[in-house]
Amino acid sequence: MAAVKLLNCFVSPFGNRVRIALAKKGVEYEETAENMVTKGPLLLSSNPVHAKVPVLLVDGKAVCESLVILEFIDEAFAGTGAQLLPADAYARANARFWAAYVDAKMPECAGKIWKVPKGAPAVEEGKKEMVGVFKTLEGELGEKPYFGGEALGYADVALVTFTPWFLTYERLAGFSIAEECPKLTAWAARCVGENECVAKSLPDAEAVYQFVGGMRKHFGLE
């Protein structure tokens, strides 16, 4: 069995995607906590291009970028657990499209909410953009239980790791995601309630809020 190590920060939506995938596959691994401000030497040497979590080390070989890692896990551990990506080529391309959409949209609008002083004009802009993104995602979800269809899939994992941050977005921007996007909120609850790999891999929402508060104070945003 390969030696597997994950470099992660407990609040990272990107790193926690990898936690879900490894748990879904039943892969045993060691997790090393990284500080989002002070980069550790292993992180810097393993991901010299971006110096960001997550990094998955398999027998000492580094795989970087969360969506790349998800696909690597699907292929490297194909013989165990359910696949994240579907076998059908069109469905696989569609899953990749929506995962890429999440990465193209969520960090930008979320950053306008939590990376600026409270009450700054960017916060309202970020809130409106985020609601728009969520409504687009609700349209794609439709009446399906998951973006992947009947079971948790690649696009679901790409998005669900942002849900522990919802409380932070709501408190800083003064809105309710449940009121704005009830279908997405129901999907998020389903992901946690029906999938142990999700439930045990996500941080507590209040802990995320407290962590973000500390980061904001550190950078003089409070």
60 with 106, same domain: the answer is no
Which residue, 22, 53, 80, sits at the end of a domain? 80
What is the predicted pLDDT for the residue at 216?
Answer: 96
Q: What is the pTM of this model?
A: 0.97
**Could you tell me if 26 and 95 lie in one domain?**
no
Do 93 and 50 fall into the same domain? no
- Which CATH number characterizes residue 55's domain? 3.40.30.10
Q: Distance (Å, rounded) from C-alpha 29 to C-alpha 81? A: 15
Quick one: pLDDT band at residue 85, thresholds 50, 70, 90? very high
pLDDT of residue 222: 84
User: Is residue 76 located within the same domain as residue 156?
Assistant: no
pLDDT at 124: 97
Domain boundary among 80, 103, 125: 80
- pLDDT grade for 118, boundaries at 50, 70 and 90: confident
pLDDT (tens digit, 9 = 90+) per residue, 154-201?
Answer: 999 999 999 999 999 999 999 999 999 999 999 999 999 999 999 999
Angle at 75 between CA 74 and CA 78, to 5 degrees: 75
Considering the domain architecture, whether residues 115 and 203 belong to the same structural domain is answered as yes
Q: What is the mean pLDDT of the chain?
A: 96
Round to whole Å and give the CA distance between 184 and 90: 24
Same domain, residue pair 178 and 133 = yes
- pLDDT class for 109, splitting at 50, 70, 90? very high
Query: Is the same domain home to 195 and 99?
Result: yes
Model confidence at 1: pLDDT above 90: no
Domain with 132, as residue range(s), is: 89-218
Asked whether residue 107 falls in the same domain as residue 173, the answer is: yes
CA atoms within 13 A on the CB side of 185: 11
Q: Are residues 153 and 198 in the same domain?
A: yes
Q: Do 35 and 68 fall into the same domain?
A: yes
**Quick one: 62 and 131 in the same domain?**
no
Q: Taking residues 110-115, what's their average pLDDT? A: 98
User: Is residue 38 predicted with pLDDT exceeding 90?
Assistant: no
| The pLDDT value given to residue 96 | 98
Report the run of H or E that residue 42 belongs to, with start and end.
helix 41-46
**In this structure, how many other beta carbons lie within 10 angstroms of the beta carbon of residue 54?**
24
Residue 97 has a pLDDT of 98
Q: Tell me, what's the pLDDT at 36?
A: 77
Residues 106-125, mean pLDDT to the nearest whole number: 96
190 and 147 within one domain: yes
Strand order in 4-8's β-sheet? 30-33, 4-8, 55-58, 61-64
Q: Total structural domains in the chain?
A: 2
Of 23, 54, 80, the position where a domain reaches its end is: 80
